[in-house]
Amino acid sequence: MKEISFRDDILPLKDKLFRVALRITFDRAEAEDIVQETLIKVWNKREEWNSLESIEAYCLTLTKNLAIDMREKMDARTEELTEQHDRTQDDANPYEVLEQKERLMWVHRLMEELPEKQRTIMQMRDIEEKSYQEIAEALDITQEQVKVNLFRARQKVKQGFIRLDAYERSTN
């Protein structure tokens, strides 16, 4: 069995772990904290590394579980009331606010159904506002591949909304 090295086998996984955490939490700072916490937990279990079937699978599972826990904590937090929040709530009627929140929830759900590459590209472009070049460099693909995958991801999300809208109309 191969001797596992933290520097050679685990640290190179940090970008992949970050993407997993970011996809779940949609928050860069939280994702970075989750990766750091994952690496600390993996380090503390170093005596068990050689008994693991796959250190990468172990790290990814740990990251995913920590990210889900963090997302649940974030969802459970109450929203801080600010002056801007009060103005926004006064300007929109409750139905519009609820509808907007529901649409955002569906975007997240539809994005979770995308293939990993498309989901990552859509996340980086539409949420993190990265340029095509930055995405291409980060994923080691061409800008054309970024554009094609982004187009396909957006089309799938759009089709999901069309199906959702058709379903809502048929039930009303």
Per-domain residue ranges of the chain? 6-76, 91-171
pLDDT in tens, 134-169: 888 878 899 999 999 999 999 998 898 888 877 777
pLDDT in tens, 43-78: 999 999 988 888 998 999 999 999 888 887 776 654
- CB-CB contact of 107 with 125 (8 Å): no
Give the pLDDT band of residue 1 (cuts 50, 70, 90): low
Residue 171 has pLDDT above 50, yes or no: yes
Six-digit token string for 106 = 């569906």
Return the pLDDT at 110: 87
Over residues 37-47, mean pLDDT: 94
To the nearest whole percent, how much of the chain has pLDDT over 70? 88
The CATH number of the structural domain formed by 6-76 is 1.10.1740
Cα 137 to Cα 20: distance, rounded to the nearest angstrom: 18
Closest C-alpha among 95, 98, 118, 113 to residue 160: 113
**How far is the first Cα of the chain from the last one, in angstroms, to the nearest whole number?**
61
CA-CA distances (angstroms) from residue 53 to 14, 59, 65, 82, 156?
19, 12, 18, 50, 35
How does the average pLDDT of the chain come out, rounded?
83
The verdict on pTM exceeding 0.75 is: no
CATH topology for the 91-171 domain: Arc Repressor Mutant, subunit A (1.10.10)
Q: Where are the alpha helices (DSSP H) in 14-54?
A: 14-25, 28-44
- CB-CB contact of 62 with 90 (8 Å): no
- CB-CB contact of 110 with 156 (8 Å): yes
Six-digit token string for 56 = 């990468």
Give the pLDDT band of residue 14 (cuts 50, 70, 90): very high
